[in-house]
Amino acid sequence: GRLRAWNRHQQKTTMKRCHSTKQHSLLYASVLLGLLLPKFSPPYCEAFQLGMMSTGLTDIANSALRQSPATTTFVTNKMCPFAQKAWCALEVAKAPYEMKEISLYGSNGKPDWFLELNPAGTVPVLECYGGAVVLPDSDLILDKIQEGAVEGGSNLKPSCESIAADVKQWRSDVSKILPVGKRAVQQGQVKELMTLLKSLDDNVKGPYLCGEKITVADCAAFPFLWRIDNEFGPLDKEGCPKLKSWLNKCCEMEGFSKTVQSSWWWWW
């Protein structure tokens, strides 16, 4: 329901943003027309493939918009773990993008332009295709990145149904970790957290969560398990050697390590 309401808001504001952007104006218009049709899934210009625009021109339009950093904007706060998982995906995919960091609290928090972009006032937000697509939720961003909404994103797409099922399961498992981790920090229930992590340790395929290739599951898990390891670890000493090995592997990669901050938030 929140996404549907937000989509209605975006349909009202997208034309205004696109009119104020001169770069790729023709391409923006073609993408926008495709988006305003009922189907909200890639390819975003699918309507043109039905006769309004040739497949070749559609591909050129989408490719041009993905490859230009100015047409993909990532609005974030670097201390937020939910924003960090989307940031990891952009970096691992080597996607061209521009970052806008905002303060969420205090006198400088949540500027008007950001609330117009996402009335819920939460980060992250990803603007794709020159602002014709705006994604206001970290999980939605991961979904759309692996579907190819940004250049290089499709490299994170699972190569088969079995791996896709593993990705889905790990993302579900990460969501289960969050309330347990909160109780560990706030109420000292660390044993409960470690019991859960031990039950997940054997599910690590190696070297990454779902096997030889990085997926959005790794991006979804990294910010939270890095915080847990930093606060309660090392995880291998707590009976989670596979998770610790995976975490070390991620930390060796610039796409993940670049997102680690000296000051950071938990997830509440």
Query: What is the 8-class DSSP label of residue 121?
Result: -
Residue 216 has pLDDT above 60, yes or no: yes
pLDDT given at position 48: 32
pLDDT given at position 63: 60
Specify whether the CB–CB gap between 144 and 156 falls below 8 A.
no
The residue that leads in pLDDT, 70 or 58, is 70
User: d(Cα 156, Cα 91) in Å, to the nearest integer?
Assistant: 11
Residue 18 has pLDDT above 50, yes or no: no
CB-count burial class (<10 Å; 0-12, 13-18, 19+) for 5: exposed
pLDDT given at position 10: 52
Residue 196 has pLDDT above 60, yes or no: yes
Query: What is the 8-class DSSP label of residue 71?
Result: G
How confident is residue 65, by pLDDT bands cut at 50, 70 and 90?
A: low
User: d(Cα 110, Cα 103) in Å, to the nearest integer?
Assistant: 6
pLDDT given at position 132: 86
* Strand order across the beta sheet in which 73-76 lies: 98-101, 73-76, 125-128, 133-135
Peptide bond into 43 cis (omega under 30): yes
Query: What is the 8-class DSSP label of residue 149?
Result: S
How confident is residue 49, by pLDDT bands cut at 50, 70 and 90?
A: very low
Amino acid at residue number 223:
P
Share of the chain above pLDDT 70, in %: 74
Q: What is the pTM of this model?
A: 0.78
How confident is residue 61, by pLDDT bands cut at 50, 70 and 90?
A: low
Residue 11 has pLDDT above 90, yes or no: no
How confident is residue 130, by pLDDT bands cut at 50, 70 and 90?
A: confident
